Amino acid sequence: MRFTGKTAVVTGAASGIGRATALRFAREGAQVIAGDIDETGGAALVAEAEAQGRIRFQRTDVTAEADIVALLAAADGPDILFNNAGAGGQRGRIDEIDAVGWDATMALLLRSVALGIRHAAPLMAARGGGAIVNTASIAATMSGAAPTAYSTAKAGVLHLTKMAAADLARSNIRVNAVLPGFIVTNIFTATLGLTGAVRDQANAAIATVAAGSQPVRRPGRPEDIAAAVAFLASEEDAGFVTGTHILVDGGMSVGPRHSW
Ligand code: NAD
């Protein structure tokens, strides 16, 4: 119950990593304000946590600044912000991109995080401090994990995390990032437009591929990321941790599993 008496705002909370983290915060005592464009998934999240009554959902498009401001206002004084919403972004190599797709990717994955921090900062400062965690990616530090626009935006999130940590330390606000490796969520099937049973089948196939993609031979789960986010958000556990990141990738970044 590390978060009793705390209010946590989570974006991209209707699915995957955001959903698991919202549930984890609620389970550990926080009041959670969950934002997402997916209202059906948001309602399902609230229903799952109904017994605790600690999750509220508000439709939020993180590419719209006014929506971010409204989500934070709904928290009525946030202690924790998890900037997590995202999707695959523009596909292709650098010689295949276009300005419209590039801008949309940056707005979704990078500007949203900057604006989340920007608008949370004065609210947290007024409360005497807070903790912000941003979802970057293993793709922020290596080329083979995702397309160019997505990877560049996530590298931006990583450096933004350091800048914001330095900017906001005077207000007692810690800012850190989590870098997921290959985590089985709907992010892969969403880009293909799959839903329902077909999506579940595809996710099961992806889980098999994921399990073989790194030295730790099991699929990465949203709960693996939620645990790291909870650590970084906890004043008790990570009160002296700011401007850094945790890579949660089953060892993917160190290379394939040895056969010797
Ligand atoms: P997911 O598709 O399960 O969840 C993403 C959520 O973000 C969805 O509920 C979606 O509706 C929401 N979303 C998308 N656009 C939005 C917008 N404009 N405003 C508000 N919400 C929006 O995927 P996930 O894997 O849980 O992704 C969460 C974060 O983790 C993303 O930032 C993603 O880039 C990052 N990430 C995922 C992986 C992975 O392997 N799954 C790896 C590295 C980083």
- Which residue has better confidence, 30 or 210? 30
Q: Quote the CA–CA distance of 250 and 213 in Å, as a whole number.
A: 9
Q: Cα 218–221–222 angle (5° rounding)? A: 170
DSSP H or E stretch at residue 133: strand 130-135
Q: Quote the CA–CA distance of 206 and 203 in Å, as a whole number.
A: 5
Amino acid 170: pLDDT: 98
Q: Quote the CA–CA distance of 48 and 59 in Å, as a whole number.
A: 17
Mean pLDDT, residues 122-140: 98
Residue 191: pLDDT band by 50, 70, 90 thresholds?
confident
Cα(62) to ligand 1 centroid in Å equals 11
Q: Quote the CA–CA distance of 162 and 152 in Å, as a whole number.
A: 16
Percent of the chain with pLDDT over 90: 91
- Is 51 a residue whose pLDDT tops 80? no
Pocket of ligand 1, beta carbon within 6 A? 11-12, 14-18, 36-38, 41, 60-63, 84-87, 108, 135, 137, 180, 182-183, 185-187, 190
Mean pLDDT, residues 71-99: 97
For the beta carbon of residue 42, count every other beta carbon within 10 angstroms. Answer: 24
Cα(11) to ligand 1 centroid in Å equals 9
Cα(258) to ligand 1 centroid in Å equals 31
Provide the phi-psi class of 53: left if phi over 0, else alpha when psi is between -120 and 50, else beta: left
Amino acid 94: pLDDT: 97
- The protein residue with its alpha carbon nearest to ligand 1, atom 10, reads 12
Mean pLDDT, residues 92-106: 97
Question: Range with the lowest mean pLDDT among 19-23, 104-108, 121-125, 195-199?
Answer: 195-199
Q: Tokens in use for 162?
A: 């350091």
Residue 201: pLDDT band by 50, 70, 90 thresholds?
very high
User: One-letter amino acid identity for 192?
Assistant: L
DSSP letter string, 151-209: HHHHHHHHHHHHHHHHHHGGGTEEEEEEEE-SB-STHHHHHTT--HHHHHHHHHHHHHH
Query: Looking at the predicted complex, does its ipTM rise above 0.95?
Result: yes
Cα(153) to ligand 1 centroid in Å equals 13
Residue 210: pLDDT band by 50, 70, 90 thresholds?
confident
150, 173, 226, 252: which one is catalytic?
A: 150
Going by the DSSP 8-state scheme, the letter that residue 144 receives in this structure is S
Atom of ligand 1 nearest to the CA of 185: 3
- Which residue has better confidence, 132 or 193? 132
Amino acid 260: pLDDT: 75
Residue 190: pLDDT band by 50, 70, 90 thresholds?
confident
Q: Is 150 a catalytic residue?
A: yes
- Is 151 a residue whose pLDDT tops 80? yes
- The protein residue with its alpha carbon nearest to ligand 1, atom 23, reads 187
The pLDDT mean for the chain works out to 96
DSSP H or E stretch at residue 80: strand 80-83
- The protein residue with its alpha carbon nearest to ligand 1, atom 33, reads 86
Question: Range with the lowest mean pLDDT among 27-31, 129-133, 166-170, 191-195?
Answer: 191-195
